[in-house]
Chains A and B, each alone.
Chain A
């Protein structure tokens, strides 16, 4: 395990719940996550596991009915949850931590050109902008100095070429609907990388895209992240995507982290019963289809202890009452289970 000093992002025992009409949904239950600089981490889980909530918590954009109940989020040594909101908006969100959303079709304002929207982002989030500059009425005139605008324009053109936009020069003058889904995701990647962030959170960035376009986008994201030394937190429910570009994988189930491991080790030797069953349920030639019995629990009244126990064939009394602590296995492989599997999973 890396020493605390190496981690760019540290989530410690995070507990978040949502107040709904039907009750309090305990969406995140003691989540731990550590992300190093320059690393691509895959946050894998099925619907309702809490991965999007975790991403939103890091960005500080949880819904109004969310309650932070315990835990901390540290980014480059600073606690994000106690940071004053103005600083969070000005310096962190969209600047040092950027976001690529899942839906390429809803991310742009249909009324303004892509160029106008990009410049709007750069006005506030350009790496050349000093923190706090141009805010308020006093800063009105100095909001976007011409010199910075020119430099930014060059950076934008360069980035559009880097994301392989067809015809980058004409792209800025077009409206969003003139671009395909794949092209819009390239634009979103560009917008996410222009502020020169340290961390990019990509929320299922290729789920809505065709498989051939998906391959292109993932390849692009990986190349740009690695060449810029940027960390990526990629949430996905598609294990194939995670396998493609991630260095490490964290699996979540019903608001709890169940396993973390480097990617090859993860797929070759999963240890948590849920992870094993999940990998088994992928359709494989020559193998019968297998499913995980039961359903994902409702988070309003979740099972006690390990939340997977109602569907787990290995569950015992302690699983039903106590949330398992972290068990360190070889070389950076952690699992939270009282009865982890130790035989190798079939390839």
Chain B
């Protein structure tokens, strides 16, 4: 692509210490281990994986909630991995994080108006009139009436709280939004409206999305490219349709095989992946998926396979792909 990437992540790592009862460090969990990828402006990149794969840690590390143990994060070409708080704060308006339930990001004691004004007060020098004008515009985009400004979060329905949370992020006109499991736990019909809203907002505000989810069906509907994670590493990246039609990594194939297909074959008749992910504090040597992989061979226990391109847009971390 001709445009430079908006976000570049290089060998990002994040380790959490594992402590015993006395509080001594007895090991560490590599929640993120050498994760690298690029996000182009305007695209939606999906980060997919099951619990423990590190996708939430990744999202939080990108916006500074977690500090990386290693690697680099480059946003708009500038290195933002540094520990300086002021540096982080300068970037924050353009690189935003959206919680699974954005309504929970609101202070329960603040009116909606105050919560929406706050990012503008802290980060911009807009006059009060300009602030309120911007807020009114964004409320309209998310489909909330202006009368809600004087209410408290608990006076709104869950869906409305969610929209306010989204609006708050948008007040700063960010460039990239990390969406952490935006549809988890939602009913199917609510999920559809949330996804439609996210799509519409992406167009109106020219947003780039990092879409973190465990739900492959949703990812397929929303994302241009997908990166699959397992135990802290990326095992495959590809454009969405390529991933669903011609995935190469055995874990991706298992993941795809596990998705119910209404009207088609039954997963419970064909599914073969057994066992569970190993203890993250003691990952297997070499490829971490080898304990469950149907294609595992002796070579897999040797060293961690690097993520290497196998097609113009597709990369796989497997020596047996």
Contacts and interface: CB of A to CB of B under 8 A. Distances in A.
Nearest to A287: B221
B193 A219 contact: no
Nearest to B259: A211
A243 B273 contact: no
A215 B268 contact: yes
Given A212-B254, A215-B267, A240 B273 contact: no
A212 B255 contact: yes
A210 B262 contact: no
Contacts of B215: 211
A303 B262 CA distance: 32
Contacts of B259: 211, 240
Interface in A21-71: 46-47
Contacts of B216: 211
Interface stretch (A11-19, A135-143, A289-297, A322-330): A289-297
Contact of B157 (A213, A281, A284, A295): A295
A268 to B, nearest CB: 7
Interface in A247-286: 267-268, 277-279, 281-285
A211 B189 contact: no
B84 to A, nearest CB: 37
Contact of B199 (A239, A277, A289): A289
Chain A at the B interface: mostly helix, strand, loop or mixed?
Answer: helix
Interface residues of A, number: 40
B141 to A, nearest CB: 17
A182 B255 contact: no
A45 to B, nearest CB: 9
Nearest to A183: B276
Query: Chain B: interface residue count, which band?
Result: 35 or more
A109 interface: no
Looking at B260, B271, B275, which has the most chain A CB atoms within 10 Å of its CB? B260
B192 A281 contact: yes
Nearest to A282: B188
Interface in A205-232: 210-216, 218-219, 222
Given A211-B214, A219-B271, A281-B192, A241 B187 contact: no
B258 A211 contact: yes
A171 interface: no
A72 B189 CA distance: 32
A219 B192 CA distance: 28
Nearest to A223: B268
26 contacts: A46-B187, A46-B189, A211-B50, A211-B214, A211-B255, A211-B259, A219-B268, A237-B188, A240-B259, A240-B260, A240-B261, A244-B260, A267-B262, A268-B263, A277-B189, A282-B217, A283-B192, A283-B217, A283-B220, A285-B220, A285-B221, A285-B244, A291-B189, A291-B192, A292-B192, A347-B263
Interface of A: 46-47, 166, 180, 182-183, 210-216, 218-219, 222, 237-241, 243-245, 267-268, 277-279, 281-285, 289-292, 295, 347
8 nearest A-B pairs in the assembled complex, by CB-CB distance: A240-B260, A283-B221, A210-B50, A46-B187, A281-B192, A219-B268, A291-B192, A291-B193
Given A211-B215, A215-B273, A237-B187, 11 more contacts: A183-B276, A211-B255, A240-B260, A243-B262, A243-B263, A245-B266, A282-B217, A283-B191, A289-B196, A291-B192, A347-B263
